[in-house]
Amino acid sequence: MLWSSPLIAVALTFALGAAVFAAMGQPPLAALHALFVSPLTDMNGVAELLLKASPLCLIALGLAVGFRSNIWNIGAEGQMYIGAVFATGLAIHFQARWGGWMLPAMILAGIAGGLAWAAIVAALRAHLHASEILVSLMLTYVAALIVKYLVFGPWQDPAANNFPFTVSFEDNALFSPLMNYVAALEGTRLNTSLLLTLAAIPLTWVFMKLSFTGFQLRVAGDAPAAARYAGHSEKRAIWIALLISGAAAGLAGVTEVAGPIGQLNDRWTPGYGFTAIIVAALGRLHPVGIAVAALLMALLYIGGETAQVALQLPRAISYVFQGLLLMALLACEVLVHFRVQWTATTRSSQAA
């Protein structure tokens, strides 16, 4: 029952979505087809799906580690920004000189950026008992403003006619396209960063299931009193959970700016860091579940674009679906654990 609740939630979302389309005067089945089936009819659509699912999956894997230990990092979006900023800083200043070492250095810098941004949250939570939910969320807005400052100010491309973006990265600062290695992917934007995500899925599983630290995090989440009783350090759990999710988000930032975007600008993410929260929940915090959920959410993004073109629907339709999905998921969670009892009926049956 616990495992079926995400499936019920997805079914419920489709049903509610069909109702929304009907209310908008669209034939529901055709609209759903446009949203969820037609994007997948060619290789390019599949590649775009994977391209969007990859950062979602990466961030959600990191978040899930924290969520399992009851650490609610809501600010992956901001950690992703700072990861991208660190990597971009290296790229625009050193790419002419560092040759083949450029991309590995950017990956490390991006991870370091995510770590640094999450470390602020960890320090405030572990040592001052500040709520990590609020702190991480507020830091996201700070991070967004830092990005804005940089791309409107010191890092702006002089040749950009005052548009807010940096110079485009050279090839040594970009993940190489997968079509260079796989002929079937000719013409797609998929790149080698997908391999990082594919590696992260089993690694996360191993960490949570087989490592002692992962076990300690699960205990901290399931039964904090038992963690104290066993002598597991609470502060260490907070630091590890936040640093892992920060590192994953920072890495996802690099895969975007050094991937399909190829530069830093002020509106390069469709909210991956926030959507990943839904992905982690929908995947029941399990690595495989998260991979599947990331594909589903990516499909929503792409389907939204298709629907915009094919049905003249506003692009916000994908956010409507995200919201419906999250709501259905939360409702199913509650209803799996609790039974609704109509008190008025109980009273009257009592009297009878």
Partner 1 sequence: MQTTTTPLLRLAGVVKRYPTVTALGGVRLEVAEGEIHAVLGENGAGKSTLMKTIYGVVQPDAGAIEWRGAPVSIADPVAARGLGIAMVFQHFALFESLTVAENIALALPGRFGASLGLSELAARIVEVSRRYGLPVNPWRSVHELSVGERQRAEIVRCLLQSPRLLIMDEPTSVLTPQAVEQLFDTLRALAREGTAILYVSHKLDEIRRLCDRATILRGGHNAGEVDPRAESEAHLAELMIGRSFPRTLRRAHARGAPGLQVSELSLPPDGPFGVALHSVSLSVHRGEVLGIAGISGNGQAEFLAAVSGERRVSPNEICLGETPVGHLDAGARRGLGLAYVPEERLGRGAVPDMSLAENSLLTASRKGMVRAGLVDWSAAEAYAARCIREFDVRAGGPRAVARSLSGGNLQKFIVGREIAEQPGVMVLAQPTWGVDVAATALIRQRILDLAAAGVAVLVVSEDLGEILEVCDRVAVMAGGRLSTVREVGETHAAEIGAWMAGGFLR
Q: Which residues bind partner 1 (CB under 8 A)?
A: 210-213, 215, 218-219, 222-223, 225-226, 228-233, 346, 349-350
Q: Which is nearer to partner 1, 267 or 347 (CB)?
A: 347
Q: Which is nearer to partner 1, 176 or 346 (CB)?
A: 346
Q: Which is nearer to partner 1, 120 or 285 (CB)?
A: 285
Q: Which is nearer to partner 1, 312 or 350 (CB)?
A: 350
Residues ≥6 apart with Cβ < 8 Å to 36: 299, 303
Closest C-alpha to 259, from 54, 44, 42, 46: 54
End-to-end CA distance of the chain: 34
Q: Report in angstroms how near the CB of residue 220 gets to partner 1 at its nearest.
A: 10
**Where do we find the tokens 């495992």?**
3
Q: Which is nearer to partner 1, 190 or 227 (CB)?
A: 227
Q: Which is nearer to partner 1, 33 or 236 (CB)?
A: 236
Q: Which is nearer to partner 1, 176 or 348 (CB)?
A: 348
With the CA atoms of 218, 233, 75 and 294 taken in that order, what torsion angle do they form, in degrees rounded to the nearest 10?
-20
Q: Which is nearer to partner 1, 234 or 266 (CB)?
A: 234
Q: Which is nearer to partner 1, 184 or 210 (CB)?
A: 210
Q: Report in angstroms how near the CB of residue 339 gets to partner 1 at its nearest.
A: 13
Cα of 13 vs its chain's centroid, Å: 20
Q: Report in angstroms how near the CB of residue 317 gets to partner 1 at its nearest.
A: 38
Q: Report in angstroms how near the CB of residue 279 gets to partner 1 at its nearest.
A: 23
> What DSSP element (H or E) covers 70?
none
Q: Report in angstroms how near the CB of residue 212 gets to partner 1 at its nearest.
A: 5
Judge contact between 25 and 14, C-beta under 8 A.
no
Give the tokens for residue 105. Answer: 């250095």
Judge contact between 3 and 284, C-beta under 8 A.
yes
Q: Report in angstroms how near the CB of residue 223 gets to partner 1 at its nearest.
A: 4
Judge contact between 38 and 314, C-beta under 8 A.
no
Long-range pairs of 345-350 with CB within 8 A, sequence gap ≥ 24: none
Q: Report in angstroms how near the CB of residue 349 gets to partner 1 at its nearest.
A: 8
Helical packing angle, 212-222 and 193-210, nearest 10°: 70
Q: Report in angstroms how near the CB of residue 347 gets to partner 1 at its nearest.
A: 9
**Where do we find the tokens 């690694």?**
203
Round the CA-based radius of gyration of the chain to a whole number and report it.
22
* Rounded Cα–Cα distance for residues 14 and 328 (Å): 10
What residue type is 70 in one-letter code?
N
Q: Report in angstroms how near the CB of residue 334 gets to partner 1 at its nearest.
A: 18
* Rounded Cα–Cα distance for residues 175 and 153 (Å): 26
